[in-house]
Structure 1
Amino acid sequence: MAEVQAVKDTDTIKLISHLLGIRHSQQMSDIWNIGINLALRISDLLAIKYSDIEEDRLVLREQKTGKQASIQLNPKALQIICRIKREHPNHIYLFQSYRNQQSVNRAPRPISRRAVSKAFGSVGKELKLMLGTHSMRKTRGYHLYKSTSDIARVMKMLRHSSEGVTLRYIGITQEEVDRDFKELEL
């Protein structure tokens, strides 16, 4: 599996959302937009249930680490979540699969990681980007780092334990760090 990238340009982030909506579905666009704003792993993002959302906060246990995550929802995420809830009030999952609605006696399930990966990959190919399900999380981390230059904040948001892992994860190269030192004179 190829390494996916953080999307470093904000116009490209918006374009990806738009292309996912018109080439695939509104649900794929919503996954992208919520994923960008929550920086969760795809398994945790797709497993969100309405019951995990308490007013303006998402509370869940991460599947990979078992750590408890309590995430303040920003206005954009809240707006999308409220719209989805309004459109699908009987759903259990925020990103519930529409396919198994036609199956009688099947429990509701979230959309599959594979379906999301396929949609993101096709839009990435169109834009000549290495885009995948991890791109949302990496993108959020990258932009937080660029706006704050605070690697500790990024580590905390991503729930990482090493600066080196976080810098590599969000795509900050040694050349960029060197350039920041060279360009910022005090």
Structure 2
Amino acid sequence: MTGANHIDYDRASNIGRRLIKTGENKNFGLLVISSINLGLRISDLLPLSFDQLKCDKFEIIEKKTGKKRQLKVNDHIRDALTFYEDDLTYKMGGSAFTSQKGSTFSPQQVNRLLKKYLKGNFSSHSLRKSFGRRVWENDNQSERALIYLSQIYNHASAQVTRTYLGIQQEELDDIYMRL
């Protein structure tokens, strides 16, 4: 597999929660939690507002495809948001993913912070892959999950999704280990 690796979902979730709870980097922690639970490209994640994340469901127009996508906010994101209830930006529904300087994170900042907190070959795309791996693992590594993910990711086929998530290479590697 080339490119960024996926991050173990639980590891990413734990780091995100720690950054929020300790206040070390709350907004980046929320970005991690939101990303692994929404599966968005970084270009679609960064513009999200607190108003959108406070809703049960919201719609976006994907920047890359121009397609409309409906997203559901799950309990992991809602739990993370409880740490923001006294935050003025939260109350006013402002941008959710701002740096300590007040500007929205750039993809480059996100990549630097991922390398800082997770130490490895990770990028913002790793978070999107973590979402996919979690969906696939939670559905017993089923072909059905790959079909759903290919729809979510707008991939041409489940095979493209399998390759994207690095599943095919792992299965090929296992062939050698079973000898």
**TM bin (shorter chain):** 0.7 to 0.9
Partner of 2:75: 75
Q: 2:130 aligns with which of 139, 147, 154?
A: 139
Q: 1:162 aligns with which of 144, 157, 160?
A: 157
Asked whether the 8 Å contact 1:17–1:29 carries over to 2, the reply is yes
Within-5 A mapping of 1:1-186: 3-8=3-8, 10=10, 12-17=11-16, 25-53=25-53, 55-81=55-81, 83-84=83-84, 86-87=86-87, 88=89, 89-90=91-92, 92-100=94-102, 109-125=103-119, 129-148=120-139, 149=142, 150=144, 151-176=146-171
Identical columns (%): 25
Aligned equivalents of 1:95, 1:110: Cα separation in 2? 6
Residues 78-98 of structure 1, C-alpha deviations (whole Å, 9 max, x = no match): 232454364122352121344
Q: Gaps (5+ residues) in structure 1? A: 101-108, 181-186
Between structure 1 and structure 2, the one with the greater Rg is 1
Deviation at 1:158, TM superposition (A): 2.1
Moved more, 161-170 or 23-32: 23-32
CA RMSD of the aligned region, Å? 3.0
Q: 1:153 to 1:179 in 2, by over 3 A?
A: farther
Deviation at 1:20, TM superposition (A): 5.2
Moved more, 73-82 or 171-180: 171-180
Q: Secondary structure at the match of 2:16?
A: helix
Q: 1:65 to 1:165 in 2, by over 3 A?
A: same
Aligned equivalents of 1:140, 1:67: Cα separation in 2? 20
Please, what TM-score do these two structures have when normalized by structure 2?
0.77
Deviation at 1:176, TM superposition (A): 2.1
Aligned equivalents of 2:53, 2:33: Cα separation in 1? 17
Return the letter of the residue paired with 1:118. R
Return the letter of the residue paired with 1:13. A
Q: Which runs of 4+ in 1 moved over 4 A?
A: 18-24, 177-180
Residues 109-134 of structure 1, C-alpha deviations (whole Å, 9 max, x = no match): 52222211110022232xxx311101
